[in-house]
Structure 1
Amino acid sequence: MATLSLAGCNRHQSALAPFGVEASSTRDLTIILLIGAVVIAVAMSLLIRHAIRTPGERLTHRQGMKLVLWAGGVVPTILLFTLLVTSLPAMRPLPTSRADLTINVEGEQFWWRVAYRPPNAARVVSANEVRVPVGRTVALKLMGGDVIHSFWIPGLAGKMDMIPGRTNTLVVRATKPGRFRGVCTEFCGLSHALMAFDVVAMEPAAFDRWLAAEAKPAAGGNALFAQYGCGGCHAIRGTGEAGAIGPDLTHFGARQTLAAGVLPMTTANVASFIRHPEKTKPGVRMPAFDHMPPADAVALARYLQGLK
């Protein structure tokens, strides 16, 4: 049964396939604890077998007291002390400095507000995607915008709560490039299970180029976007649309998923989500635009996909 359960793990969202320093330490600590548990279980099984097969008169009171002392006191103390000494270094957070990248991540119902704060550079706003440079220390500043959420990237680091009115800091360092997945692990409403995000670990030079491109404004505006009042909730830098209620859409088309990791980024999915977001995400705060003609929704979707 354990083998079948482990076979269900993947490399995109699994603590057993780490791509970060903290997740690697957690996995190694888990293996050590598992070995310790197996040793204890085997020892207890052998002791029980010996006790059952040994006649009662062969064990004197003095021998029994020695067995209790060593098996119940000395050996467990040594074992627990060894596990404590082994685990304490893994519990120490990574050190940070002012030269490290800071990423603000705020949980909303039901999406992620992301803002990059590189040292000595302007703030860059995005949504539903977190990108980190491999080999560099990154401080994730985690907040809850409405209710309590919980931020977890299984392959990168442990989970941490996002509490309204409070900022928690999670320090991470990716060790290899790739595209992974993060999730919310605290029930936060009807679409809690539909609140994921993409995690992209990039080589440092590629990350720097991406961040510079992400800081640039969009190529141009769109009449339909303005006509339907989308700018009341969404921002597209460089177009005059500056809504802050919903996700920033400046480089929306560069993302691979839609609706916080729920749907592939296709024209049909974007158009459908514009008209009926509640069908994909029950309880979502984005209003439905069922009065919008399907042709307008498709045209608007194509414009948004072109924002790269």
Structure 2
Amino acid sequence: MSALLAVPLGGCDGNWQSALDVYGSAAISLKHLIILIVAVCSVVWMAVMVSLIVALWRKRDVQPTSSEPARERRMTMAVVGAVIATILIIGTFTVLSFIATRALNVAGQDDLTIRVRGLQWWWGLEYVGPDPSQRFETANEIHIPVGRNVRLKLEGLDVIHSFWVPSLTGKQDLVPGRSNELPIRAERAGVYRGQCAEFCGMQHAHMALLVIAEPQEDFQRWAAAQRQAATPPIDEEAAAGLQTFLAKPCGACHTVRGTAAAGTTGPDLTHVGSRRTIASGLLETTRGSLAAWIADPQTIKPGNNMPLVPLTPDELRAVSAYLAGLK
């Protein structure tokens, strides 16, 4: 079982994701719709079962009589009534579903905008705005302010993915060559687990993300820290790790702002040490987890695009110390 289970998730600090444990306006609307549909369908099922039992019970004692035409008329009326009720129920569900779906697409011009890219098998995130100096990138962990609408611009870069944080909003696909949008809003501070909801390959189940909703002041401090370049290491071992990181192919795939590493194939690692998890929710971010991931990423997450980079034990310890210090 992943170390992620130790991370408190959800509005009630649970470690699950549920469309019935909701803390976002869109998710609340969807929950009400789900409960209504289940309740109505349960009543319909019980009515059908009772009617069937009564019909079977009466059939044993029914004898042909001159009242057969009257019985046929009653059966015809019952069938017509059932058809009308079915049309009304389905029509009502359709209208309510349309209303609930519209709630997923309400966005304002002043919303915080985050570009979300789905890749096999991780999430690339870019906080965008009118001022280019305010933009920054991160991965697999979305921070949002409580009580503010956030607009997610969804893009798929390889195959179709689906973004879903059930406690906050509904699902929306990330389709290559097409840009979709999904508003998200948290009414309560907490850590909410999300998941890719569209089968996207062998590691689909290991493509999770966290949405961390926090007060506006805390969000502003986090965002200001994320905009900063990586702090140069002062520890001797971490400094050696930086040199190894730049000497090896790591910088060809990853970016660490403030260094010569400017790759765009893999996640931005500028502040990777401050994230709760690595490998898209698979491991808790510790120096040991970082070392294990670097040493053999294919055993931990088979099929991912990170190659095995040969490192000596001393180099591995140094690189893991450097990455763990990127906060």
What is the distance in 2 between the residues matched to 1:227 and 1:238? 16
Rate the CA distance shift 1:110–1:80 in 2: closer, same or farther, 3 A: closer
Match of residue 315 from structure 2: 296
The change in CA–CA distance for 1:30 and 1:142 in structure 2 (over 3 A counts) is same
CA distance change for structure 1 residues 50 and 24 in 2, over 3 Å: closer, same or farther?
same
Give the whole-Å Cα distance in 2 for the aligned partners of 1:18 and 1:119.
32
Alignment of 1:85-234 (within 5 A): 85-92=95-102, 93-118=104-129, 120=131, 122-220=134-232, 222-234=242-254
Residue of structure 1 aligned with 2:259, choices 239, 242, 248: 239
Task: State how many pairs are aligned.
Answer: 297
SS in 2 for 1:298: helix
Supply the AA of the counterpart residue of 2:118: G
Q: CA deviation at 1:12?
A: 3.2
CA contact 2:105–2:181 (8 Å) conserved in 1 = no
Cα distance in 2 between the residues matched to 1:94 and 1:204 = 23
- Please report how far the alpha carbon of residue 292 of structure 1 lies from its aligned counterpart in structure 2 after TM superposition: 0.6
Is 1:78 the equivalent of 2:96?
Answer: no
1:305 aligns with 2:316: no
Q: Greater CA deviation, 182-191 or 249-258?
A: 182-191
1:133 & 1:156 partners in 2: Cα distance?
13
Partner amino acid, structure 1, of 2:35: I
Poorly superposed stretches of 4+, deviation over 4 Å: none
Under a length normalisation based on structure 1, what TM-score does the superposition of the two structures give?
Answer: 0.89
Partner Cα separation in structure 2 for residue 185 and residue 76 of structure 1: 31
Q: Which amino acid aligns with 1:301?
A: S
Corresponding residue number in structure 2 for 1:255: 275
TM-score, normalised relative to structure 2: 0.84
What's the secondary structure of 1:301's corresponding residue? helix
Say whether the 8 Å CA contact 1:133–1:203 is kept in structure 2: yes
Corresponding residue of 2:27? 23
Letter in 2 for 1:76: T
Which of the residues 277, 286, 297 maps onto 2:297? 277
The CA RMSD measured in Å over matched residues stands at 2.0
Q: Distance in 2 between matches of 1:269 and 1:220?
A: 22
| Aligned-partner residue type, residue 135 of structure 1 | G
Residue range with higher mean Cα deviation, 115-124 or 161-170: 115-124
Bigger relative CO (Cα 8 Å, ≥ 6 apart): 2
Q: Structure 2: any 5+ residue segments left out of the alignment?
A: 1-13, 234-241
Per-residue deviation, residues 239-272 of structure 1 (Å, max 9, x unmatched): 2321111110111110011111101112111112
3-state DSSP of counterpart to 1:242: coil
Unaligned runs of 5+ in 1: 1-9
